Amino acid sequence: MEKVIISAAITGGMTVPGQSAAIPVTPDEIVESAVGAHEAGATIVHLHVREPETGKPSSDIGLFREVVSGIKERCDVIVQPTTGGGKGMSLEERAAVLPELEPEMATFNTGSFNFGLFPIAERGNPGDRFEEWETDYLEGTRDYIFRNTFADMEKVCAMFREAGAKPELEAYDVGHLYNIKYLVDRGLLDLPVHVQFVLGVMGANAATIDQFMHMRRTATDLFGDDLTWSAAGVGYPAEYHLAAMCLMLGGHVRVGLEDNLRLSRAKRAETNAELVEKAVALAAMFDREPATPAEARETFGLKGRSAVAF
Ligand code: KMH
Ligand code: ZN
């Protein structure tokens, strides 16, 4: 079967470091974790950045530049910064990675929805050590809409074109797939599209097998062969349940501490590399092996490492 493109989501922009000591915070920690994930088999590393002193999600381009340059110096993994950012960031702040870094790929969020993380603060897991800002950040999501209006998306489509970057289309609910169809039909997004089904965020679709199959079927009805797809299950065991479905059905996979903090029911993940190793082992059981960055560049028609602005 076709090789599997494994993405590692390194640190995230909606979670807080108090949820796990494993979450990389400083640029060096993010670089090391991304290189380790690549060495474990990741083809793509999906990146956010954080304020080094506090761990607060950041849109600072200097931090992004330090991270993406640091990774590029060490290996040929595909570097995929977020345009999703984190709570409280403007669209301009979020999308600045496109004109500034002109990456080969970046994430593109395809609809607005409530993004509720406040149950994490309410749960009060024994291991949680939240700073005051972290509790406020999580509690603040009770009244937070992750905004991606049609006007926002039309603006960001133009920025992707300008930067020569391939958008990874993050779809959290089935309606987002029809938003993608609208953008394709208006000539704002190119075919083939690459869709990442991100399931399990509270406020969007659930990470169940049924909902995954429904979204995958809808995407294949809408885009036919002009589609490559992957899934990111948020939380455990969703991350690996969806990974298994993707591996069986010919899709690609996303794992990583941004979305999931557990390696198994018994063990919390200590590194992104071990989450990737588990995905590689699972892939082998379905006769699939990790794609190299060069193979993924071919699959996605990326512009190549030498064409980025970092
Ligand atoms: N953190 C994921 C739930 C993005 O960064 O653009 C969503 C995500 C999207 O990774
Ligand atoms: Zn992200």
DSSP per-residue letters across the chain: ---B-EEEE-S-SSS-GGG-TTS--SHHHHHHHHHHHHHHT-SEEEE-EE-TTT--EE--HHHHHHHHHHHHHH--PEEEE-SS--TT--HHHHHTHHHHH--SEEEEE-S-EE---HHHHHH--TT----HHHHHHHHHGGG-EE---HHHHHHHHHHHHHHTPEEEEEE-SHHHHHHHHHHHHTTSSPSSEEEEEEE--BTB----HHHHHHHHHHHHHHHTTSEEEEEEE-STTHHHHHHHHHHHHT-EEEESTTT--BSSSS-B-S-HHHHHHHHHHHHHHTT--BPPHHHHHHHHT---GGGS--
* Residue 234 in contact with ligand 1 by CB distance below 6 A: yes
Kindly report whether the global pTM for this prediction surpasses the value 0.85: yes
Measured in angstroms, how far is the CA atom of residue 9 from the centroid of ligand 1? Answer: 8
Encode pLDDT of 82-135 as tens digits: 999 999 999 999 999 999 999 999 999 999 999 999 999 888 777 777 999 999
Q: Give the pLDDT confidence score for residue 310 in this predicted structure.
A: 98
Measured in angstroms, how far is the CA atom of residue 240 from the centroid of ligand 2? Answer: 18
Measured in angstroms, how far is the CA atom of residue 292 from the centroid of ligand 1? Answer: 23
Q: Give the pLDDT confidence score for residue 232 in this predicted structure.
A: 98
Q: Which atom of ligand 1 sits closest to the CA of residue 9?
A: 10
Q: Which atom of ligand 1 sits closest to the CA of residue 12?
A: 1
Q: Give the pLDDT confidence score for residue 64 in this predicted structure.
A: 98
Q: Give the pLDDT confidence score for residue 47 in this predicted structure.
A: 98
* Residue 230 in contact with ligand 1 by CB distance below 6 A: no
Q: Give the pLDDT confidence score for residue 265 in this predicted structure.
A: 97
Q: For the chain, what are the domain ranges? A: 6-307
* Residue 11 in contact with ligand 1 by CB distance below 6 A: no
Spans of the chain below 50 pLDDT: none
Measured in angstroms, how far is the CA atom of residue 82 from the centroid of ligand 2? Answer: 5
Q: Give the pLDDT confidence score for residue 146 in this predicted structure.
A: 98
For a mutational test of ligand 1's pocket, the pick from 259, 260, 272, i.e. the residue with the most ligand atoms closer than 8 A to its C-beta, is 259
Encode pLDDT of 156-177 as tens digits: 999 999 999 999 999 999 999 9
* Residue 82 in contact with ligand 1 by CB distance below 6 A: yes
Q: Give the pLDDT confidence score for residue 7 in this predicted structure.
A: 99
- Quick one: fold of 6-307? TIM Barrel (3.20.20)
